[in-house]
Structure 1
Amino acid sequence: MSNNKLQAAILVVSETASRDHSTDRCIPVLRDVFDGIGNGQWEVAFTEIVPDSVLDIQKSIQSWADCQKPLNLIVTSGGTGFATKDVTPEAVSPLLDRHAPGLVHGMLASSYSVTPFALMARPVAGVRKKTLVLTLPGSPKGAKENLESVLKLLPHACIQAAGAESRPLHAGGVKKLEADAGVSSGGMGEVPGGEHSHHHSHPRHDHSHGHGGHSAPRAHTKQEDRPQSNDPSAGPARRYRSSPYPMLAVIDALNLISENTPEPVVQKVPVDLDLSGAVLAKDVKAAESVPAFRASIVDGYAVKMPHSGRFAGGVYPVALVSHAQPGTVKELKEGEVARITTGAPLPPGADAVVMVEDTVLKRQTEDGEEEKEVEILTGKIQAGENVREVGSDVNEGDTILKKGEGITVVGGEFGLLASVGTSEVSVYRRPVIGVLSTGDEIIPHDKRGPLRLGEVRDTNRPTLLTAVRSHIFEAVDLGIVSDKPGALEQTLRDAFRKVDVIITSGGVSMGELDLLKPTIERSLGGTIHFGRVNMKPGKPTTFATVPLKDDSGKRITKSIFSLPGNPASAVVCFHVFVLPSLHQQAGIRPVGLPKVKVVLDEDVRMDRQRPEYHRAFVAAKDDGLLYASSTGGQRSSRIGSFKRANALLVMPARDGSMKKGERVDALLMGKLGELAR
């Protein structure tokens, strides 16, 4: 622990999270508050999760407050409502020596400015011995808002509670206290949700130049740098009328995806038919030599070279037979030959193999079933001729495949691994992807009967599932979820227990029912890295990460790609944004679709405001060049524009058209078309 920082603990009170720590969202959110607006004064020394039990709550608080080195601050989250199981206030109140109603009022006032339902909480605050204790709501959003509303005031309270004298602390009056805390009169009312919190250096270390005093508090960040989505509880009348998210260039969005995509996970897997598509995480060395024995590379006759070193043609008895099958073969003597098949082991003593084409049959057995003598027509046979030596293909210990190489579906790599007896390899685990559609108007694509007014068949989900599986990733169908905040939140929480990446479509625009962004930010404690991209189609594409814990309790992040609801937009954005991230997590290099130069086979109109990813058909012609033709109307709702499409033309934002014969970059989504005549 750092000696110069105030020590804090976070206690989450939750039946669910106490059974499965990975479901907790409050601890990472509250840690971020301490780190983000705590002016570097705080260290979260301990975290714990307990069920809704008075004794468990009290035991944790007493262990942190009653020890030889008590903590400065304990914040609890959960159990402050009116449900019968909510017992946190009843557990904490008896432990407090002095209550702090002002902090309670400040937290309630801050949350009330967001929603009147904040008054349905029963917070408690006060001091036990030398430790300040605060109770926060159980939702990540509510806990964050409450802590942000008072955190800058708490160092002053904790220092006093620890035994510091008030007079020196209050020297300079309220204005100095406000400056030290980084707040101003009336300023705390601007903080709800953390959107206006200012990050200052501690004034005692920020000396003004030439004036001998402290510099005035100065904000170092801008609120517009920290956009946040609509609050679903605000209602349609108070929703944003324009997106708070900046419009990013595609390259900047791809860079953010790369920076925030989890590192590949290494796992050991058996060498079986499921290995296709995997990427090796470690070099593979041969466990045995190939071949493991001296073998014939032709059908013919094995011979033993005479001591003179020169083999003479003539008639020889056929003493042995060696087939390409397991078995014991006796030793071949000089003056004998052994009939041998391709791939069969040479008998002990044999030095070379004569091709059957260089022999004639001289005599057979009396039953006519076997050869008895053959004549070898050549005397030019050399030792080792037509023999595949031990390890001539692969030597034991040789590196046969290197880290980063893939096991392709062609099968060559798999065959190589199998040939040397490799039973297990280390690979990068391929992420599991869940695909979800949102919207009360969305119905399954295979629902029978006519549609009711407003209903839309779910095109995106089956299309995206197909796209994911076509790149050899496991795809999980998460179904269709309603446009209701609670339903969406629960579906996402449940999904993250079984998938690594979630792809959603719909619900990312500016409508009152577009709840993906607020659910990610406000309910899951996630971070939206971008919410708009300067491209056509796909402007509202959103990329976010959500903090979680794995089965061992380790903190991890998982990704959400929220794609537009229009079918063509969703498919384009999967290939442009999602696929590179999946490749990165799976260790595949290079990431994303291959880029090639193509020649336009017709004029293609450009969009003057946004770069466009134009669906096209690319084929090779007799001149060896690749030619592209448009698939027709490019409206984002027109999934038919993907019929025959095997490429996306990367069209610049300009007036007019690119002319037939001009060259343009294209991203290849599938195999090249047949040769055009």
Structure 2
Amino acid sequence: MSEPYTVGILTVSDTASVDSSVDKSGPLIKSILSDTQKYSVSQQTIVNDEIHAIQNTITSWSELNLIIITGGTGFSPRDVTPEAVKPLLTKETPGITHLLLSSSIAITPFAALSRPITGIRNKTMIITLPGSPKACQENMDAVLKVLPHALDLLLDRSVKKFHTKIQQGGVDVSSGAAGTNGTHGTNDAIGGGGGGHTCTHKHDVEGDASQTGQSASLDTPVARRLRASPYPLIHVDKALKIVAEQAKVLNVINVPVSQFLPGYVLAENVVAIEPVPGYRASVVDGYAIHFEDGPGVYQVESISLAQQASCQPLTRGKIARVATGGMVPEGANAVIMVEDTKLVREQGNEELEVEILVSSVENQNIRGVGSDCPVGQLVGRRGQRIGTELGTLASVGVRHVKAYRKPRVGILSSGNEVLDHMHTDELKPGQIRDTNRITLLAAVAASGFEAVDLGIVDDDVDEIFERLEEAVAKVDVLITTGGVSMGEADFMKPILEQKMQATIHFGRVLMKPGKPTTFATIPQGKRASKLVFALPGNPVSATVAFHLFVLPALRRMAGWEKPEHALIPVKIQHDIALDTRPEYHRVFVHIENGNLMASSTGNQQSSRLMSMVEANGLLQLPMRTPDIAVLSKGISVPCILIGSLTK
């Protein structure tokens, strides 16, 4: 089964470039191609009737198999599509141009007023169509019959069987198919009795027969490996739901009430086992008195500091000096502030007599036993994440609490070209420094979890398998980077499946960056399965995928009640072009005049780690549609905060 032909659809129209809703031809062409199940429209945009705009789009789509342009082929002074396209062609295809014209002229003589041009630019076929939806439909009906064979010739795909079937009369020229409907003559089924196989070419559609969810055997020769991923391209929301279902809360442990407790989540309600205060304490610096004695001059009987107190009850008609927090002597029932007294007589440094200048009431300036927190009061709630509450727990006599264990996270980089940055003086051609591992180690630690450095492993099946086995024995969650795409040495998925007996829950996600992100679980008998996040090798892809998928899973395992990221609205400070996939755009979020503002960190290419520098937010951008291709400056966009805010 051949891969689908990749297509870009370009609408050329001054009007539609301002209001995309008036473009009817572009969506029509996409619908026609999608219905054939042979084409994948990966690019679609609208430009105005300007030569440079048309040419810039064509040159930027150089990787596509087919570009179809609608509009700008008439006699109007603004119709410049043929003039823009012709200089870019390496070969013209007059036969296809004649086919377009002749099919339309057979319907209406006015088709002679169109100026189509078709041709080849390197390995890309370019076809121009009129702007009218009716004319586009007529032209597409004509050219669809020959397009698959033309593209196969252009792409060096085998066409020998197709030619043989033509000679034998086995090709239905009206449908462009050989043998049965929907079957390509160039790729008959093996052992199927000569009838060929039905191929939908919709590799990204979940539930399609090609989406087996299983990698090819590790011993499959390179030339016979899969040319398209067997894993369905699932939406981010579904991927997050799958991770949440598999990330189970870890076991409960006893944790001392110490500086290491913050970040843990309580697994039980905690109550005070001692009252606070544990004695009657003075609120102020002053004198403990019998409030019934009233103002007057009194002998100072004793001194009660915060760290010491007299055990003797206070004699009626006398007073005792007390400090803030000090114990109020038995018998005393009020405390007068030192500011409301006057020294009458002293000897050396000792107060002998003091005058009380004001009246008081019972229990004035006295904190009763347990008045702040009585025994049995709830001081910690199950599910509560500990932070500054540490002091409260200590104050009520709690020395140990039951908490959910925090996951231990291992980080392993893979790739023959990846070298440790600390032990490499000079890179040779083709080598790169390992930025993924150190970035993820820092991200895990900054998030409050234990990070384990598992080093770098070469692209060798046996070595990867051995390192994965060792890693799974040490950690609760394993993060790998690299080896998850469709390259010759991308072994991570088949090793997990075929050697580690892992279940791969998803192997691709509809997002940018991070499309190859893979999530798997490895069974551990009666114990909870180990989680594996096999992230892409591109550093930005790996970092974004960590924040999006791994961090919420770690929080959930640690007992967080709300482990998901909060989405906050931010105003973008410039226009942002949308992609064909939902995108997580790196931005710097700051506070300006009471509003949260977001500015892009620049080029968002997934290999450009500089796009993460100063980024404290990920804009959650929707995928581009024919109606919305750009988000305008000043609109509000959902954002995930991945760092602190500043003004």
> Is this contact kept in 2: 1:265–1:585, CA < 8 A?
no
Pairs aligned (count): 440
Within the candidate set 591, 601, 609, 1:620 is matched to 591
Counterpart residue number, 2:341: 359
Distance 1:276 1:555 in 2: 27
Distance 1:242 1:507 in 2: 15
Distance 1:326 1:261 in 2: 53
> Is this contact kept in 1: 2:266–2:403, CA < 8 A?
yes
Counterpart residue number, 1:259: 245
Q: How does 1:561-572 map to 2 (within 5 A)?
A: 561-572=533-544
Counterpart residue number, 1:519: 495
The answer to whether residue 614 in structure 2 is matched with residue 644 in structure 1 is: yes
Deviations, residues 418-462 of structure 1 (Å, cap 9, x unaligned):
000101111111000000000111000223432111111001000
Counterpart residue number, 1:405: 384
The offset of 1:269, in angstroms, is 1.3
Counterpart residue number, 1:316: 298
Distance 1:585 1:291 in 2: 37
The answer to whether residue 518 in structure 2 is matched with residue 542 in structure 1 is: yes
Counterpart residue number, 2:320: 338
RMSD, aligned CA: 1.6
Counterpart residue number, 1:556: 528
The offset of 1:268, in angstroms, is 1.5
The one-letter code of the counterpart of 1:591 is P
The alignment's TM-score, normalised by the length of structure 2, stands at 0.67
The offset of 1:262, in angstroms, is 2.4
Unmatched 5+ residue regions in structure 2? 1-190, 193-206
Distance 1:547 1:224 in 2: 26
The offset of 1:601, in angstroms, is 1.3
Distance 2:233 2:516 in 1: 9
Distance 1:593 1:556 in 2: 24
Deviations, residues 183-232 of structure 1 (Å, cap 9, x unaligned):
xxxxxx99xxxxxxxxxxxxxxxxxxxxxxxxxxxxxx986564201322
Distance 2:635 2:527 in 1: 50
Deviations, residues 301-327 of structure 1 (Å, cap 9, x unaligned):
000233xxxx42010000010000145
Counterpart residue number, 1:592: 564
Counterpart residue number, 1:15: none
Unmatched 5+ residue regions in structure 1? 1-188, 191-220
The one-letter code of the counterpart of 2:304 is S
The offset of 1:330, in angstroms, is 1.4
Deviations, residues 497-525 of structure 1 (Å, cap 9, x unaligned):
11100001100001121111001100000
Within the candidate set 631, 634, 638, 1:658 is matched to 631
Describe the SS at the equivalent of 2:422. Answer: coil
Counterpart residue number, 1:496: 472
The answer to whether residue 346 in structure 2 is matched with residue 373 in structure 1 is: no
Describe the SS at the equivalent of 1:528. Answer: strand
The offset of 1:358, in angstroms, is 0.3
Counterpart residue number, 1:272: 258
Within the candidate set 534, 554, 558, 1:582 is matched to 554
> Is this contact kept in 1: 2:303–2:309, CA < 8 A?
no
The answer to whether residue 623 in structure 2 is matched with residue 669 in structure 1 is: no
Distance 2:413 2:524 in 1: 22
Describe the SS at the equivalent of 1:667. Answer: strand
Deviations, residues 100-148 of structure 1 (Å, cap 9, x unaligned):
xxxxxxxxxxxxxxxxxxxxxxxxxxxxxxxxxxxxxxxxxxxxxxxxx
> Is this contact kept in 1: 2:309–2:327, CA < 8 A?
no
Which aligned segments of 4 or more residues in structure 1 are displaced greater than 6 angstroms?
A: none
Describe the SS at the equivalent of 1:497. Answer: helix
Distance 2:320 2:309 in 1: 15
The one-letter code of the counterpart of 1:477 is D
> Is this contact kept in 2: 1:324–1:342, CA < 8 A?
yes
Distance 2:409 2:308 in 1: 46
The one-letter code of the counterpart of 2:351 is E
Describe the SS at the equivalent of 2:288. Answer: strand
The one-letter code of the counterpart of 2:313 is E
Counterpart residue number, 2:431: 455
> Is this contact kept in 2: 1:616–1:649, CA < 8 A?
yes
> Is this contact kept in 1: 2:309–2:329, CA < 8 A?
no
Distance 1:288 1:536 in 2: 55
Describe the SS at the equivalent of 2:213. Answer: coil
Q: How does 1:116-515 map to 2 (within 5 A)?
A: 226-306=212-292, 311-365=293-347, 368-379=348-359, 381-408=360-387, 411=388, 413-515=389-491
Deviations, residues 3-60 of structure 1 (Å, cap 9, x unaligned):
xxxxxxxxxxxxxxxxxxxxxxxxxxxxxxxxxxxxxxxxxxxxxxxxxxxxxxxxxx
Q: How does 1:51-90 map to 2 (within 5 A)?
A: none
The one-letter code of the counterpart of 1:267 is I
The offset of 1:656, in angstroms, is 2.7
> Is this contact kept in 2: 1:332–1:350, CA < 8 A?
yes
Describe the SS at the equivalent of 2:407. Answer: coil
